[in-house]
Amino acid sequence: MADFPILSVMLLVPLVAAVACLLVEAKAARTIALIATLIDFVLGALLWANYDIGGAQWQFVEKVPLFAGFSWALGIDGIALMLIMLSVFLMPICILASHSIDKRVGEYMAAFLLMETLMIGVFAAQDLFLFYIMFEAGLIPMYLIIGIWGGADRIYASYKFFLYTLLGSVLMMIAMLWMVNEAGTTDIPTLMAYDFPVEAQKLLWLAFFASFAVKMPMWPVHTWLPDAHVQAPTAGSVILAGVLLKMGGYGFIRFSLPMFPEASAHFAWLVFWLSMIAVVVTSLIALVQHDMKKLIAYSSVAHMAIVTVGLFAFNVQGLEGTMIVMLSHGLVAGALFLCVGVIYDRLHTREISRYGGLSINMPKYAIFFMLFTMASVGLPGTSGFVGEFLALVGIYQVSSLVALVCGTGIILGAGYMLYLYRRICFGEQKNADAAAMPDLNRREFWMLGVIGAVVLWMGVYPESFLAPMRADIAALDARLARARPAGDAQLIAGQPQAAAQSHEPAAAHAEGAH
- Residues lying near other proteins in the complex (CB under 8 A): 66-69, 129, 132-134, 136-137, 139-140, 143-144, 147-148, 154-155, 158-159, 162-163, 166-167, 170-171, 173-174, 177-178, 181
DSSP labels, 172-199: HHHHHHHHHHHHS--BHHHHHT----HH
- Nearer to other proteins by Cβ, of 174 and 288: the residue is 174
Q: How far is the CB of 128 from other proteins (least distance, A)?
A: 12
Q: How far is the CB of 337 from other proteins (least distance, A)?
A: 22
The alpha-helical segments, DSSP class H, found in 350-441 are 358-361, 363-377, 383-396, 400-425, 432-435
Q: How far is the CB of 75 from other proteins (least distance, A)?
A: 20
C-alpha 92/C-alpha 96 separation (Å) is 6
Residue 439: other Cβ atoms inside 10 A = 14
Residue 153: other Cβ atoms inside 10 A = 11
HSE-up of 481 (CA within 13 Å, CB side)? 6
DSSP labels, 404-417: HHHHHHHHHHHHHH
What is the chain's percent helix, strand, coil content, to nearest 5? Answer: 75, 5, 20
- Nearer to other proteins by Cβ, of 144 and 469: the residue is 144
For 38, counting Cβ atoms within 10 Å of its Cβ (0-12 exposed, 13-18 middle, 19+ buried), the class is middle
Q: How far is the CB of 189 from other proteins (least distance, A)?
A: 22
- Nearer to other proteins by Cβ, of 103 and 442: the residue is 103
Q: How far is the CB of 175 from other proteins (least distance, A)?
A: 9
Q: How far is the CB of 67 from other proteins (least distance, A)?
A: 5
- Nearer to other proteins by Cβ, of 87 and 231: the residue is 231
User: Which phi-psi region, left, alpha or beta, contains residue 239 (left: φ > 0; alpha: ψ -120 to 50)?
Assistant: alpha
Q: How far is the CB of 233 from other proteins (least distance, A)?
A: 14
Q: How far is the CB of 110 from other proteins (least distance, A)?
A: 10
Residue 62: other Cβ atoms inside 10 A = 17
- Nearer to other proteins by Cβ, of 170 and 508: the residue is 170
- Nearer to other proteins by Cβ, of 118 and 302: the residue is 118
Q: How far is the CB of 147 from other proteins (least distance, A)?
A: 5
Q: By the 8 A CB rule, do 365 and 439 touch?
A: yes
Classify 127 as helix, strand or coil. strand
- Nearer to other proteins by Cβ, of 61 and 133: the residue is 133
**Positive or negative torsion for Cα 384, 277, 123, 373:** positive
Q: What is the DSSP letter of 126?
A: -
- Cα dihedral 156, 160, 163, 169, rounded to 10, equals -160
- Nearer to other proteins by Cβ, of 137 and 437: the residue is 137
Q: What is the DSSP letter of 256?
A: I
Q: How far is the CB of 493 from other proteins (least distance, A)?
A: 49
What are the φ/ψ torsions at residue 126 (nearest 5 degrees)?
-115, 10
- Nearer to other proteins by Cβ, of 15 and 319: the residue is 15
Q: By the 8 A CB rule, do 309 and 265 touch?
A: no
- Nearer to other proteins by Cβ, of 101 and 398: the residue is 101
Q: How far is the CB of 36 from other proteins (least distance, A)?
A: 19
- Nearer to other proteins by Cβ, of 139 and 367: the residue is 139
Q: By the 8 A CB rule, do 304 and 375 touch?
A: no
- Nearer to other proteins by Cβ, of 158 and 359: the residue is 158
Q: By the 8 A CB rule, do 437 and 45 touch?
A: no
Q: How far is the CB of 267 from other proteins (least distance, A)?
A: 19
C-alpha 204/C-alpha 258 separation (Å) is 12
The CA distances from residue 136 to 20, 97, 133, 211, 379, in Å, are 23, 25, 5, 10, 36
User: Which phi-psi region, left, alpha or beta, contains residue 17 (left: φ > 0; alpha: ψ -120 to 50)?
Assistant: alpha
